[in-house]
Structure 1
């Protein structure tokens, strides 16, 4: 009887999938950078590239001010849930931002960081997040904004039972089914979407797939499923796996959007700009075509590219190089953010100036080798050395170049302060570019809006992004 019910729901969702609504291609922007764009530059950059939706990992007022009146739909995040534990706290938060809601296009508010993923081990935290989700939406409803501003969670594939070989195998883990059922009813009642954050480079390993299964065009692997469904890429596979999980929870009609999908450009064995360019070149036209998936043919899939810029202050090396832009506002590779599939570079950011052509390098003195290693480790602990890791763009340079790269990154992180190129007498400043054909020693941009709000509040990193990156770091270990 259960299998007949699921089959009926499958047919129902196929019938309801054709909506005639256009899919949205948005972009994510995080600010855990040493040298970051200011909000007004980002707004200008998005408008230049025809991007009409943006997801940000904060709800700070400086950002809301910049987006006000831009016409760009905004997806916010609330990270400090301690002030939102009851309805009064949620109402106070909403009222403090009402003037921005009146003049900007806020669509979604993300609550917490992957509460169901962490809820596998901490039910109390999960229940607390769900309560915030309810109270914040009620506050929005009560002030008259609930019809177009929705509260949501982000979800990842480790919420599904392991050992999935085809999408129809998917279902949510038993440990979270009760809370998931409550949340799905809430989403249905408020006409809010279910948000999936995809990490294709991880998911290919999790599901033991051919690396070429990452790409939409020219399929090299075919996975056949029920009702003659055929899957040829990881995007469709993961999307329909979640749809199947929703069907089995008797929630077949909830809209599913992709809140994050991207490809790393460094610090990872298959992370480079060529693969990232190929990944998006196939994916974005597919999304904009409204082709849908085998389980939801013709259904638009709102999709958010991850990410606008690198976040070189995230604690997880793997998550530092997902930006389509360098810190100087220049694109890394060709990508058409409109989804038309044009072979173009996106527009560059305006008003950004590089610092002088100066580098801090190692002088080669190895008399005290332990001191060299101490200084190297210090530099890497306080900057971004992910390009030196296995598979990174600077993985094959010499030891001297390795130390120079680390010293220079620290020097640039400190905006070329000469005191940042001391390293116990092991370094000097040069105007001769030490870069190699494969490995770029960067010169960063001049100081802009670099004040780290969270550090000023006593956090080393933003609560949201720090937890996100630590979660991703442990994701494969969890599955294995």
Structure 2
């Protein structure tokens, strides 16, 4: 699952960030121009909501991995007759594949939210689509699933109490069995914006925007949450675990933030949309995972490419786009995720290291916490690993503290460690790692950009070999 550590590079496997290309508008550029725009921004993954011929042709020979949709209105014929699925695949997939790199087919969208209850049709339709793919030998290259809203859960807080709604039980049981059997992801559309808009007294804006300086504690697990996105994903993972489906991965097929809204939608602004999506991208490609699933890939698709003027509802519904129909940006967004965290201190401008006043016992306790509950990958400070030398507790603690600090937004609270951590604004690498490996340690051990690579074994072992050569 996924492609690269940075979503648009090819260094190693990891989480990916894509974009949803909706077309519910009458003023959009042609598909060719839309795909050109996607390529200009080095976006390698896209989701479309139907099998429009012109759109499929536009993605041909681009290398962009495409998720295509079957609408709810088509569920009935697809669920009733295998021949309908065979014909659709023959007419809508085969003429364009593999030049158009189709990797997922979504059968229906958020059916539990639809006015007509079509959920009973989803799994039979999915089976028929899968059978058609098997006939063509494509079932291992194109995965079949369906998308859901968070409304599929009856409870999502605290995350450990996450549970599926019992009213969807007859739909969910065969669906989850299908996903587990075919290694397909559970696709969820997650919108912290709505949680904040509808309940601002219970949800802080900073928590929704990935820039909270405080943590929400799950009382059942002790896990700490600094953003709503992680909490909602973990609620889904706990709901899956409660039904004993532990192998199904979660994929976020829609998330984003509107840049404009009705008078009562005060949080729908370009600044907030930029903050949410920029911090989302950076959070995802760091591959820190979530508190309940540390290090787990989380693939996300940002909604959406364009503002769509034909969408009904409040003003915000027509203003989720990253771009205006004239292809100009609604706000600046770094799709690589390597820029500064929006709304937070600039990475590498501050570091978190062990306080010289801390006792050895307090330092050890803090390191133990950071390397376990804090979800820091502490393997580089183990014996014979790149950041083990110098072999003293202060250096090891500084590594662990800084890793946690950078992964959690470089905020004041992320450098407390019971009073054993201290923030500094001067790069401490030379003082902490005064050896012939300094240059490598500066990039590997304390540079926040390098935190992106710590779990990337190809880069990790390449650097380790270089260190050995230096010695």
TM bin, normalised by shorter chain, reads: 0.5 to 0.7
Local SS of the residue matching 1:284: helix
Task: Tell me which residue corresponds to 2:88.
Answer: 93
Distance 2:219 2:196 in 1: 18
Distance 2:287 2:341 in 1: 20
Deviation of residue 225 (structure 1)? 4.1
Local SS of the residue matching 1:112: strand
Shift in alpha-carbon separation, 1:117–1:315, aligned structure 2, 3 A: closer
Distance 2:188 2:198 in 1: 16
Mapped contact 1:109–1:152 kept (Cα < 8 A): yes
Aligned counterpart in structure 2 of residue 113 of structure 1, from 109, 115, 119:
109
Task: Tell me which residue corresponds to 1:275.
Answer: 272
RMSD (CA atoms): 1.9
**Counterparts in 2 of 1:169-248, with a 5 A limit?**
169-205=161-197, 208-248=202-242
Mapped contact 2:15–2:297 kept (Cα < 8 A): yes
Deviation of residue 58 (structure 1)? 1.4
TM-score (normalised: structure 1):
0.64
1:68 matched to 2:60? The reply is yes
1:305 matched to 2:305? The reply is no
Distance 1:219 1:94 in 2: 49
**Counterparts in 2 of 1:251-290, with a 5 A limit?**
251-267=245-261, 268-290=265-287
Local SS of the residue matching 2:96: helix
Task: Tell me which residue corresponds to 2:435.
Answer: none
Local SS of the residue matching 1:227: coil
Question: Which consecutive residues of structure 2, in runs of 5 or more, have no partner in the other structure?
Answer: 1-11, 343-471
Distance 1:334 1:220 in 2: 27
Question: Which consecutive residues of structure 1, in runs of 5 or more, have no partner in the other structure?
Answer: 1-19, 345-480
1:339 matched to 2:358? The reply is no
**Counterparts in 2 of 1:288-367, with a 5 A limit?**
288-317=285-314, 318-341=316-339
Local SS of the residue matching 1:182: helix
TM-score (normalised: structure 2):
0.65
Task: Tell me which residue corresponds to 1:136.
Answer: 129
Deviation of residue 117 (structure 1)? 3.3
1:147 matched to 2:140? The reply is yes
Shift in alpha-carbon separation, 1:67–1:220, aligned structure 2, 3 A: same
Local SS of the residue matching 1:98: coil
Shift in alpha-carbon separation, 1:326–1:205, aligned structure 2, 3 A: closer
Task: Tell me which residue corresponds to 1:57.
Answer: 49
Mapped contact 2:159–2:218 kept (Cα < 8 A): no
Shift in alpha-carbon separation, 1:220–1:34, aligned structure 2, 3 A: farther
Distance 2:135 2:309 in 1: 40
Distance 1:105 1:183 in 2: 25
